[in-house]
Structure 1
Amino acid sequence: MEQANRGSMGLISFVVLMVDLVAVVATFLWFDNFIIVAPVLFVSIVGGIGLWFIRCQSLADAANADDTQEAGQILQTTASLFEYLDQELTGQFRDARQENGQVQEILADAISKLVESFTLLEKDTSRQLEVAVKLSGSGSSQQQGHNKDISFSELFSSIESVMQKLLDATIDSSNNAEQVAQATMKARQEFQTVLGMLGEVKKIADQTNLLAINAAVEAARAGAAGRGFAVVAEEVRNLSLRSNRFSEQIDDSLQSISKSLDHVETSIHGLAKQSDKLVQEERENIKKVMGDAQGYYELVDSSAQQISELASSVSRQVGYAVTSMQFQDMSTQIIDTVSKRLVAAEELLNGLVALSRSVDSNDSNDSNEQLLQLLDSANDLVQQSHHNPVSQKNMDEGDIELF
């Protein structure tokens, strides 16, 4: 009856130990934060070791009761289980360390490229700001072939000055055309006066011709005594006729000139009116162009200010992002700590395997010593779980250990 109870106790302890070991494996495989599950791991290990110790005592009692065959089978099965767990968990620990190293390499490479990208982004933003400042006229661009710097606002003022000069020249041309029209009108009036004088000259010639005819009549009445006077009268008459023809020729020429002056006056008046209309239209066009140019300049200047504000904001955000890249240091320290704990857990597992082998060899003294060492190792592992080199959970709070 006593042997049956002891055998039952050994079987129960063996089952509980298996459950603890399965819990340990599940803890490593299902949780990604070793710091959180370390107390659970400690309870499982210590409970398993305690039950293992009870089982060893039960097996020893069973051996003393000549139940060596059953004890040998249990020990052999347990040793095989520990060997399997040793191989499996050792592989898991090795893979975990490799994956931790891989994560560190990926983080280092990615963060290095991110920092480089953010740095280039900040440089490009600064260059964009410089271009916007030059475009708005806040900066200056060197004029080709000269050492003088011209800003956009100065160029705008220069264009406005040139257009104003063109408008003034057009106004002056219109005024000159009007003056020419007035001078032509005055000249036409003078020609009319001259034509009037030529009319008087013609009248005088006609009267002279009439007097010459009367003198010739009187000379004919006088007979031989009036022949000399008749000759003079004929010559006077001829002169009057020539004077009359010459006056008619002058009148014809002056009439032609007067008509030409009329055409010139009409053309000049039309040109003056067109010039006035053109001046008015150009004045409105120049006013509109200058208004549009002023609006464009104000739009460019406002856009440049917005680009400047955006560039400053991007620069600040890049600075924040580069500062946030320090999470690599914190992640590396956490991963290193996890790796160390994996090494400690692996050593603890190796100790359990060694303990099972020593029990299998029935060396109780060595088993007790190894059991005490495993308890110390488990205690150290739990103490390590209370120490986290990175206390913060985000980038805005907490601190890290500096090595």
Structure 2
Amino acid sequence: MLKEVTMRATGKLSNRIVLMSFVMLVALLAFFIVTTIYTAKSSVNKTMGAQAVAVAENIAKHLNPEEYEQLSKDPRESKLYWQLREELNELREVNGVLYAYTFAVPQEDKKVRFLVDGMPADDEENAGVIGEESASTLYKDIEKVMDAGSYYSDILHSGFGDYLSGTVPLKDASGNIVAFIGVDIEANEVSGVANAVLTAILPALIIVILILTGIVMLIMYRYINRALKPLAKLGDAVTSFAQGDIAKASMEVEKIQLKGKNEISIFAQAFQEALQKLKETFQTIQQQTFTLQNVVKKIDETTQHVETSNAQIADRIVEIAAGSEQQQQNNQEVVLTMNEMSIGIQRLADTTSEIAESSSTMTGLVETSVNHSQEVVSQIQNVESSVLRTAKHVEEMGDRFGSIEEMVTIITSIADQTNLLALNAAIEAARAGEAGKGFAVVADEVRKLAELSKASADEIHTHLNSFKTITERALHEMSGSSIDVQAGNRAVQRIGESLEKILKSVVEVNNKIQDDSAVIEEMSAGSEEILATTEQMNDIAQHSVQGTKEVAMASDLQVTMVSELNEVVAMLDQTFKEVTKTINTFKL
């Protein structure tokens, strides 16, 4: 049944591929025909347009640009207009075109207007009037002429028939555009020519394409059937595999002759490798099933031994649990005793710490007092030195006062002598009469100055005596102060020595207190460690009791699990037998 489905699917797949290919070729043929028709008509239109442009260029060669430029400046039906119209009509008839006409260069309004229409003079009905706007040629067409140099339209349709327009510029000698020349050529036969060309080419072309399509479809059909032929054999192999005959399926895949490398060949190789690996897997499973059977037997024997051992272990655990409970009670009593002892030691340690702290504080105060006494001694010594230096300065000042006193005495003597000389000078001036009056005035002033100098010297002498008295008292006071400072210095030094002795004793006491405090702290820490260790032992005993109970429960659970394991082993043995039976259905 599976083989028939595979063959039917293969046939349908090849038919679908061929049908799809045929549809695509027909679509390409239709596209090619449409493209050919469009290309033929476009070629004919292009040829006719080139012909119209060529005729317009030929006419432009026979026209006079200066005359058309003159007419553009004065656009009216003058003698020049009729002359140019007749000339253009003759050129139209000679070149065999329907119409020949000229346009003026568009102005700002961008309207295309007739300049000269090449029709007979008596044909007023069909001729365009000078200055009349063109209906078929627009400004965008003129722009194309100015940009490309020429322009031709598509085939236009009117009531008089089909025609095609071509336009070129008319330039003067300088290359300036003075007008535009347009011609209309008949295009009634263009469609006929295109149809004739298509009629002559298309039938033969279609026949050739159909023949080639048939050949290609035949080649494709044979190639596809040949390429899909291995699928039928693969279907046979899959059928054998579904029936459990792996060896036959592998042989059928090996018979397939694969040419080239495609999806089918890759699938066939992968399928062959899968069959080989599956075969090896089943062989391995068969080998392992025997090993699994032995393992199941050993597990069964082991579970029986474990069940017996668990029963004995459960009895031992009950005995251990009873002893652990007694040990836990003893540990609790030890913990209470150690806790009380630890509290007492801790109180002793706290008291010792307070004493040590007070001793440290006292030591600091004594050290501070010693430092202060040393500072006082130093300051007193500085005061003593300052007093001695001041006394010395005062003595020097007394000596200087003596020198000044001598100088004042000399000044007083000089003032007395000056006064005497002034007196003598006054007497001599009086003797001189009128001639000595001026000298008498000077002598009088000198006398006054001498008397003033003596009075000042006497006042200085008085002050010096006062300074001398004050200096002597200051020296006396400084001597007493120096003695007092020296006595105070010795007293402070004795105080400092006493404080240093006290400091030495306090330091020794403080060191002993610190040592005792450290010992007591160590005792406190040791008691706390002993207490912690005892509590840990008690916790361990509690955990041991709890663990023993849990082990007892686990032992009971283990017994239950061993029983369940026996059931699982029995189920595993039954499953093993069923797997072995299933594997034996495959032919390797």
- TM-score, normalising length: structure 1: 0.39
Query: As a proportion of its length, which structure holds more helix?
Result: 1
- Calculate the TM-score normalised by the size of structure 2: 0.28
Q: Which has the higher contact order (CA 8 A, sep 6+)?
A: 1
